[in-house]
Structure 1
């Protein structure tokens, strides 16, 4: 069995060809797609976060709204760039969103990827400390965030408070019990996957990672996942970790599917460079008739290693079509692979 959810980047553009022509369109349709996905039996609604872009950027109002409109589907991010975040304020927002959804938040965080502007985190008021780079700063913010999520008191109370305090040091409120175990790290390398395991975070591995061996993407991803699980075991954690991968997967079951995705073009991995220095490998997309698609996905070692698959959706094509994309995978593909 495998959990299956969707991942939306939340693109919007004023183009007449787009169903999401404004930020408002994207936010409202993101909520509607989560409701539709839950009705179809999907397991998760996840959203990407990008700053300074015509995409989803402020996750917690959206997550809270989705949590209020749904009953059972997991809601999450993949991923929040921790270079931009105040970890204490974020802990309050995350606690509130998790309580509204009654414990369904699955929060994916990361060091982040190249953004639309140069050193965008500086505009948010953050500068790496002496001897640190921006990646170090993101991981430092993460460690603080994880610590305050434990719900332990750390702040000295005012002896003359406006309202009565409980005894002892004060913690951040609202605190949501169990949220600390539902934090995921988006790892772009084997080393950061191992680091995430040591800190007790679940693993999100997407369709891009550092090209560390020259092997096909799905093979490298599977090795990353196995290294993560081994590090988790060595760290002595008692619970079983979760691992997700994301893929663009389209079952061609009607003329719309064939018109949009039937021409092919992304059936192979591609290699590029991040920040002009890091060689990265980008995983292929899948679009085919269901029987052929089933065989292709069965051979994807990264998918086979993961317990959760996030389907990246073309959100600009609208809620109805994206619900159809999700339903096609759940109905025509997942059962044959043993995922349903």
Structure 2
């Protein structure tokens, strides 16, 4: 068995060809798609966070709204860019959303990807300490966030507060007591995957990673997962970690599918550069009839290593079509691979 969810970037554009033409459309359709995915039997509804872009940004109102409309499905991010986050306020937001969903939040965090503006986190009031990089700052924000989620009191109470305080030092409230084991790190390298393991975070591995060996993408990603699990074991954690991978997978069921994805989509890994000087490898897309997909996906070593698969969805094609995409994988592909 493998958990299967969807991952949406929440793109919107005021184009007549888009079914998602405004920020309101992106948010409301995300809620509707999560509801539809739960009804279809999917396991997770995950969302990417980008700033200064016509995409989903502040995630917690959306996650809380989905939590209030659904009952079973996991609700998560993949990922929140921690360069932009105040970990104290984030604990309050995350705690509220998790309590509303009754403990279904799965928060993916990361250093983040290249953004729409130069050093966008500076506009949010964050500057790396002297001698540190923005990646160092993201990891430091994450470490503070993890510490706060432990629920230990740290703040000196006012001797004459407006409302009575519990005894001892105070913590950030509301705190969701069970959230800490449901924090994930989106790692683009083996080293950051191992760092995440040491801190006790689950692992998210996306459709790209830094090209560290020149091997095919799925093999490099599988090696990253194995390195993560080895570091987890060495750290002495007692629980079993979770690992997710993301893929663009489309079962060609009808003429509409074939028109959208039957041709012109990369069927092999792609090499590119992020931030000008970092060589990255991007995983291939999968688009074929279900029986062909079963054979192709069975060869993907990273999917085999992971317990959770996130299907990237083309959200601008609308809720109904994206529900169709998810249903096709759940009903016509997953059983052939032993995932259902």
Asked if Structure 1 and Structure 2 have the same fold, meaning a TM-score greater than 0.5 normalized by the shorter chain, the answer is: yes
Residue aligning to 1:331: 331
Aligned Cα root-mean-square deviation (Å): 0.5
Residue aligning to 2:232: 232
- 2:255 & 2:68 partners in 1: Cα distance? 35
1:303 maps to 2:303? yes
Cα distance, 1:178 vs. partner? 1.1
- 2:317 & 2:276 partners in 1: Cα distance? 32
- 1:152 & 1:95 partners in 2: Cα distance? 15
Post-superposition Cα deviations, 1:95-133, rounded to whole Å, max 9, x if no partner, equal 000000000000000000100000000000000001101
- 1:192 & 1:279 partners in 2: Cα distance? 16
Matched residues, number: 340
Cα distance, 1:19 vs. partner? 0.4
1:215 maps to 2:215? yes
Alignment of 1:35-50 (within 5 A): 35-50=35-50
- 2:63 & 2:102 partners in 1: Cα distance? 12
Residue aligning to 1:72: 72
Residue aligning to 1:81: 81
Residue aligning to 2:99: 99
Cα distance, 1:265 vs. partner? 3.0
Determine helix, strand or coil for the equivalent of 2:184: strand
Residue aligning to 2:90: 90
Alignment of 1:20-31 (within 5 A): 20-31=20-31
Post-superposition Cα deviations, 1:197-247, rounded to whole Å, max 9, x if no partner, equal 000000000011000000000000000000000000000000000000000
Residue aligning to 1:178: 178
| Contact 1:187-1:204 within 8 A present in 2 as well | yes
1:123 maps to 2:123? yes
1:255 maps to 2:255? yes
| Contact 1:182-1:201 within 8 A present in 2 as well | yes
Residue aligning to 1:154: 154
Determine helix, strand or coil for the equivalent of 1:280: strand
| Contact 1:92-1:173 within 8 A present in 2 as well | yes
Residue aligning to 1:54: 54
Moved over 4 A (4+): none
Gapped runs of 5+ residues in structure 2? none
- 2:256 & 2:66 partners in 1: Cα distance? 28
Gapped runs of 5+ residues in structure 1? none
Determine helix, strand or coil for the equivalent of 1:272: strand
Q: TM-score, normalised by structure 2?
A: 1.00
Determine helix, strand or coil for the equivalent of 2:234: helix
| Contact 1:187-1:193 within 8 A present in 2 as well | yes
| Contact 1:264-1:287 within 8 A present in 2 as well | no
- 2:192 & 2:22 partners in 1: Cα distance? 35
Cα distance, 1:22 vs. partner? 0.2
- 1:16 & 1:130 partners in 2: Cα distance? 47
Residue aligning to 2:286: 286
Cα distance, 1:189 vs. partner? 0.2
Cα distance, 1:300 vs. partner? 0.4
Cα distance, 1:278 vs. partner? 0.8
Residue aligning to 1:138: 138
Cα distance, 1:255 vs. partner? 1.1
Q: TM-score, normalised by structure 1?
A: 1.00
| Contact 1:31-1:62 within 8 A present in 2 as well | yes
- 2:155 & 2:302 partners in 1: Cα distance? 43
| Contact 1:31-1:66 within 8 A present in 2 as well | yes
Determine helix, strand or coil for the equivalent of 1:167: coil
| Contact 1:46-1:78 within 8 A present in 2 as well | yes
- 1:338 & 1:271 partners in 2: Cα distance? 31
